[in-house]
Structure 1
């Protein structure tokens, strides 16, 4: 490998790693803000949170890699241009394509690796991440008593405390309503102070109360007119109540959707769903037309020529014409039959239509995920072909202008991709058009920028634009001066005529 290629690779790898971690950090903050309400207040261990963040980071790799490649390419070529290293290479007879050849090879390897990441790692990470989120949602929040408010986080129990000491955790003026008895008895406990905590394994509620009273209302089959109330006092009362749902329990449930499958599984689902949709559609429309709307036995409507197997068209038309000559009661009978058949066909078609719509939604989502995995490597290469020429044209390094330009291109790409994905999921566009439209739009831009950078175009050079504006001003100013003088002479002539 040539020394110049080592220099370019070294100049690219540093910004690539830096921008990758910056992009992943920003995406992770977005994930945290989305699920912050479900993570806070449940006493999750650091291991669970780290595991969830790891799977979430793996899920965001397909979104972070293109942006990191684009930003690193602009920064690298901008640094080389700003330090006149790129100019020195071109003066030595090296073209821009030859200069960026090692970077293009490296980005191609990254693109190939991104396919395997999106096809193998991301579905596995999604499956694990959704499983953890499901387990967290099933877990109840920890005990959090607020002064003067009832805590209803325990089934069949309601607890109110007047004040909780933040240092010792001692509760003052405790009131507990306990309805856990299977016989229907209700216990009310009033205590001056006490402690209510979960055990270390969060499977038991440990209650220790001081100086209180217990009221037990016993009920029998005639509780509405015969009920007993027992009362007793205590100095210290301890209870250990079994609890469910407060401990983090890892389930073995396997959540399966289009985001948890690789490309082979998606292709299998697409084939089976297309067959299912075709079957549901044909089983809905053909019986609807042949057996419900166009009924032969009741002579409600004649069978159309497209569904006819015999040549009874004239006879059917005569039957319909004869309806107009029937008595009023007979017409009413036929009308009621037609309306009943229409209602039955509508109900049957609505049921079949729901089944077909569900299969269609799954089919569209599977196609979206299939094309996402294939289009990711192509988008990475396109972003590099946009970033490298842009950096050579801008000739500015650092995290200033390159960040702004890269974010603008990425936002355009992301908005186009989301719009196309939405159209595909709604069934308005084909999956090829919706999922590849962003690449179709950005690819000509990449070719145009590469052409401009190869020919040393001053497309984004502010000095070049300032010079052009100055030259245009020098040309226009004499013409404006002549026009101004002509207007002055004309106004002066009008004044003389009025005088």
Structure 2
């Protein structure tokens, strides 16, 4: 690479990482000021709080990655434009496409970092972040029960509980049905089911097992029964962030398993998967838009470019959130299309803006 490439690339990467380092402490302080009372009330250990904010750092950085990237590029490119450095570069015979080369290299580096973090580092941070939040930051009134939980465990077994309380690990109105093909073989029901940690067993209260016979059925009743099942406690405690805690390989296996179960949250999990793959593409699109917007010296100076950049960044996030929510709630809207649409729309916008900037 030539000197001009190193000059722009160093400013690209340095501005991006400095902006992250500046905003993350602000985010931590705001979060701490809002939640310190709950941490004290719930007696959160100091070590758990420290780990929470380590996880929060990665979670927060990944969540606001598009804004950090967009604003950092607009910031330093606007300074280049205001100092007429871009004019000097282009006047020396460098084409606009050649001028974009260091930005393309920088976007490639950031895209690779975003891919590795999104696939392997952020999932672990997301698990720790969410577990701390639900353990120490949720008030009892905020911990709502999961209601009307249905789960297909495998080809033959179907599980149902009317509600599940995460504070006590108790499911109410438990039912387990076992089929052989289309024929029901037996049905187990209980008033509630509780996980006994020390014995690694399930405890059923008001247990009833109905064995389906060819002519007559038989009933087995017990007031209480400790037994084993081939399902895990996680099958009774589905959480909306489950897919966020899986790495690249675990996520594919998890989605396939949930698909076989007929999970109602499958679109939510697919949105998480496709977003991880789309984030590196987003890095290139936002880089080109930011360069096109800020490479022109404007009468209002850097403030106009920053205002325009912030507006475009929030519009991008708004569309991304809207389409993702539609895909999660709808069975007819493709999660892949929902995740791709913002990149497609803003990719076309990037081409249009680059063409104008070139002229």
> TM-score, length-normalised on structure 1?
0.48
Q: 1:454 to 1:369 in 2, by over 3 A?
A: same
Residue 424 (structure 1) aligned to one of 323, 327, 336: 327
Deviations 1:174-216 (A, max 9, x none): xxxxxxxxxxxxxxxxxxxxxxxxxxxxxxxxxxxxxxxxxxx
Conserved in 2, the CA contact under 8 Å of 1:114 and 1:376?
A: yes
Aligned to 1:442: 346
Deviations 1:124-143 (A, max 9, x none): 11122233334425999xxx
Conserved in 2, the CA contact under 8 Å of 1:82 and 1:397?
A: no
Conserved in 2, the CA contact under 8 Å of 1:396 and 1:402?
A: no
Deviations 1:332-364 (A, max 9, x none): xxxxxxxxxxxxxxxxxxxxxxxxxxx122x11
**What is the distance in 2 between the residues matched to 1:26 and 1:438?**
28
Matched, 1:5 2:8: no
Aligned to 1:266: 251
> Tell me, what secondary structure is at the counterpart of 1:50?
helix
**What is the distance in 2 between the residues matched to 1:43 and 1:436?**
43
**What is the distance in 2 between the residues matched to 1:54 and 1:46?**
13
Equivalent residue runs for 1:130-209 within 5 Å: 130-136=130-136
**What is the distance in 2 between the residues matched to 1:77 and 1:430?**
37
Conserved in 1, the CA contact under 8 Å of 2:255 and 2:270?
A: yes
Q: 1:404 to 1:23 in 2, by over 3 A?
A: farther
Deviations 1:232-257 (A, max 9, x none): xxxxxxxxxxxxxxxxxxxxxxx881
> Tell me, what secondary structure is at the counterpart of 2:52?
helix
Aligned to 1:409: 312
> Tell me, what secondary structure is at the counterpart of 1:60?
helix
Aligned to 1:369: 272
Deviation at 1:117, TM superposition (A): 0.2
**What is the distance in 2 between the residues matched to 1:5 and 1:48?**
44
Aligned to 1:360: 264
Deviation at 1:398, TM superposition (A): 8.2
Aligned to 2:117: 117
Q: RMSD value over aligned CA atoms?
A: 2.9
Aligned to 1:153: none
Conserved in 1, the CA contact under 8 Å of 2:8 and 2:103?
A: yes
**What is the distance in 2 between the residues matched to 1:90 and 1:29?**
43
Q: Provide structure 2 residue ranges, at least 5 long, that are not aligned to the other structure.
A: 141-238
Conserved in 2, the CA contact under 8 Å of 1:82 and 1:396?
A: no
**What is the distance in 2 between the residues matched to 1:410 and 1:275?**
38
Equivalent residue runs for 1:16-35 within 5 Å: 16-25=16-25, 27-28=27-28, 31-32=31-32, 35=35
Deviations 1:296-337 (A, max 9, x none): xxxxxxxxxxxxxxxxxxxxxxxxxxxxxxxxxxxxxxxxxx
Deviations 1:131-173 (A, max 9, x none): 3334425999xxxxxxxxxxxxxxxxxxxxxxxxxxxxxxxxx
Q: 1:397 to 1:28 in 2, by over 3 A?
A: farther
Q: 1:421 to 1:36 in 2, by over 3 A?
A: farther
Matched, 1:381 2:293: no
**What is the distance in 1 between the residues matched to 2:117 and 2:244?**
13
Deviation at 1:15, TM superposition (A): 2.5
Conserved in 1, the CA contact under 8 Å of 2:115 and 2:280?
A: yes
Conserved in 2, the CA contact under 8 Å of 1:424 and 1:430?
A: yes
Matched length? 261
Q: Which has the larger radius of gyration?
A: 1
> Tell me, what secondary structure is at the counterpart of 1:94?
coil
Conserved in 1, the CA contact under 8 Å of 2:271 and 2:324?
A: yes
Q: 1:396 to 1:26 in 2, by over 3 A?
A: farther
> Tell me, what secondary structure is at the counterpart of 2:53?
helix
**What is the distance in 2 between the residues matched to 1:51 and 1:412?**
33
Q: Provide structure 1 residue ranges, at least 5 long, that are not aligned to the other structure.
A: 141-254, 278-358, 456-499
**What is the distance in 2 between the residues matched to 1:89 and 1:395?**
17
Aligned to 1:88: 88
**What is the distance in 2 between the residues matched to 1:116 and 1:75?**
26
Residue 433 (structure 1) aligned to one of 318, 337, 344: 337
Deviation at 1:34, TM superposition (A): 6.0
Conserved in 2, the CA contact under 8 Å of 1:75 and 1:398?
A: no
Conserved in 2, the CA contact under 8 Å of 1:52 and 1:132?
A: yes
**What is the distance in 2 between the residues matched to 1:409 and 1:376?**
17
Deviation at 1:400, TM superposition (A): 3.0
**What is the distance in 2 between the residues matched to 1:370 and 1:422?**
14
